[in-house]
Structure 1
């Protein structure tokens, strides 16, 4: 994007940040020479997964715009299909590194036996089949952003080398001896609760604090119901443009869309609409499961949870309910839950800001993310 166009859209963000996001994610494509393990491309993203006018999304995009201007590493947390990859790409596209490469890597998709070579590169003859020097993804992202998707899926032995790389800001190719300096920003993402990943040992704590001085939570679609209709209309509009048709959603279809909870988030919404679109004549009809009963009910200092509620969601709701019970008193809440105050702040940082404020009336302390430096704080903080 030219500097003039970027300036114009940066000014536009003050009035309608959602349209800025939509512009960015629909006019940029991932360019890389190693397509095998990347999680985002023009073909698998229709630019709508974060489209919406809800306060939740606008708050997220405001945080993204603030984070993007810095050099700090970022951890993006959210359910599968919620749009973590688009948030990562937007951070890059709104940053001073936007003219550099954006290299997304799915840490859980790279075969374990070649993961180190893919990330850090290798020298010719370093192992059987290494017939030529190979530039890894860290070097491919020089001057830009490396997006480590599903960071908690990375093998622990590789996490050790990743930590050393981030601490020294250099890499050594497999079979090599030269320390190669890096110029890359790290954005990581996970659909897991990071605190649980730390507790289970899937994610090293020292690496976690290196990659997550700032944590951004991407809300699930059920947490922004007002956006469902707008997103659906946008998807249908793009499908009509692609197929040169004029199909439309029926009134009943719109009601069904808003009544469903979308456990697969916008990815499920898009796939559902694409199937219905193909089968429809002019009017698109939908038959979806009815909205399940409320996920939890709190009364008389007790909480009722329904079968089918995810463990991560259960933990989040129980923490919010406990914090409300103790009138926002975090030390008392942490003691009652049997966790440290630090752990409580970590978990609260992963909640949408509206829920966090509703429960406690305040947010965890924010990290210093001034431009030109790295923010290091414990626990990771959401942007103010």
Structure 2
């Protein structure tokens, strides 16, 4: 039977929590002070310690000063309010989670359902690190570069906590894969992982999709609807392209993160949100704040633990490993084994990959289809112009056919990043005759990101922008 220690100086609160914990087949001990807690820890090692921060003889955090007492126990802090400072302190000292007073039955159920010994989690991380050393992949991620090793260390450190994570990186670098890896290493792994692209949902529907709605709350609400926060209960909610979320909805998201509660659209009943939030953006978040696309207070609440993904051009040594991995998957699905020639791998590594890992995966699938035999050469691999190089094109280039000069864009020093981005997107869009697919490919962004930017510029009065679908 698992054992729990409740460190709480309020005797009534301690008895209430002890009764709730006992319902989950835990044996329970209580302590009303740090002194009693140390004695209980020495007598019997608990699987979980519910630790109040305010105790008669000091702060609950003082227990971390003797790590040998709690090294094999999961520590959950009990605090009067969930704050950014509490989150950071909990992460730094090694606490796995925290719950807010008054402690509810549902909060406690969620905590107890996720109890895992720290040594078991560390053993699992050790196995993943050994697998990375052998094959080059860590969870769902692939790469041996120093930049990716840094990402792996960050994932291993933060996954075992309940801290909010903010993933940044260019489009196609694998931000959702990072979020999935964090979830799969966490204590929430047995519960849902839901990914939401905030830029792909209509601004008129996004609040209902995230928080749910009651029947009859608006025209067309014919039934009650559970939002992502309810459907992800106990698990992880990944909010991609967070800067595309309407500002007024960001206020409500901040409230959920601060209080752990929310209301469905059309309801006055508070609901608890036992969800870990991982957010992501392909914009520079500080610039999004300056451009009023992201609330500053929400940014700091989400950015407790930032993870920055490097673009593929900054870790080109990983390209052959990734290409072989993607090719292996295609071969397995299609039932025919093909392999890259050394020249093809060299060409792949030399390309700058504006679309990052997503573009590499798509290129591998394309060249597999175009290959005539078992060997995949460099005939159909992309050049830095973004156009596949066929044998005929390569021959023409070798014969001295010079392509027309590519138009350029010059900006004065001091131009803001937001303005530089706007001018670059619009100039590229015009260069490709308002063809969205070619514009997105040249810029290395997703179609949805391009479409959102064009809509934004159209609202600002850019006459050259056409936002209707091609």
Scaled to the shorter chain, the TM-score interval is 0.5 to 0.7
Question: Of the two structures, which has the highest relative contact order with CA contacts closer than 8 Å and spacing of 6 or more?
Answer: 1
The match for 1:15 among 123, 126, 130 is: 130
Shift of 1:145: 0.7
Corresponding residue for 1:282? 374
Deviation (angstroms), 1:187: 0.3
Correspondence list, 1:343-358, <5 A: none
Which of the two has higher C-alpha Rg?
2
Deviation at 1:252, TM superposition (A): 1.7
Change (3 A) 1:64 1:307: farther
Shift of 1:291: 5.6
Would you say the 8 A contact 1:139–1:182 is kept in 2?
yes
- Residues 268, 310 of structure 1: CA spacing in aligned structure 2 closer, same or farther, 3 A cutoff? farther
C-alpha spacing 1:19/1:215, structure 2 compared with 1 (3 Å): farther
- CA deviation profile, 1:79-113 (whole Å, cap 9, x unmatched): 11100000001111101111111111100011111
User: How many Å separate the matches in 2 of 1:66 and 1:309?
Assistant: 43
State which of 63, 70, 73 in structure 1 corresponds to 2:154: 63
The two structures, once aligned, show a CA RMSD in angstroms of 2.8
Residue 234 of structure 2: aligned partner? 143
Count residues in correspondence. Answer: 275
Question: What 5-or-longer segments of structure 2 have no aligned partner?
Answer: 1-115, 386-406, 418-470
The 1:105–1:122 alpha-carbon spacing in structure 2 relative to 1, beyond 3 Å, is same
- How far residue 159 of structure 1 moved from its aligned partner, in angstroms, is 0.8
The DSSP-based 3-state class of the residue aligned with 2:306 is: strand
Equivalent residue for 1:165, pick from 252, 256, 278: 256
Distance of 2:223 and 2:168 partners within structure 1: 37
CA distance in structure 2 between the partners assigned to 1:17 and 1:310 by the alignment:
43
Residue 127 of structure 1 corresponds to 218
Give the Cα separation in 2 of the matches to 1:310 and 1:19. Answer: 47
For the structure 1 residues 132 and 291, does the alpha-carbon distance in structure 2 shift closer, same or farther, using more than 3 Å as the test? closer
Q: Could you report, residue by residue, the CA deviation over 1:265-310 in whole angstroms, capped at 9, with x for unpaired residues? A: 1111111111110011221122445569xxxxxxxxxxxxx96899
- Alignment correspondent of 1:240: 331
Q: Please, which of 275, 284, 301 is the counterpart of residue 193 of structure 1?
A: 284
Query: In the alignment, does 2:298 pair up with 1:207?
Result: yes
Aligned to 1:95: 186
**Partner SS for 1:91:** helix
Describe the superposition over 1:40-80 as per-residue Cα deviations: whole angstroms up to 9, x where unpaired. xxxxxxxxxx3111121112111101010111101000011
Distance in 2 between the 1:310 and 1:227 partners?
33
Distance 2:411 2:307 in 1: 20
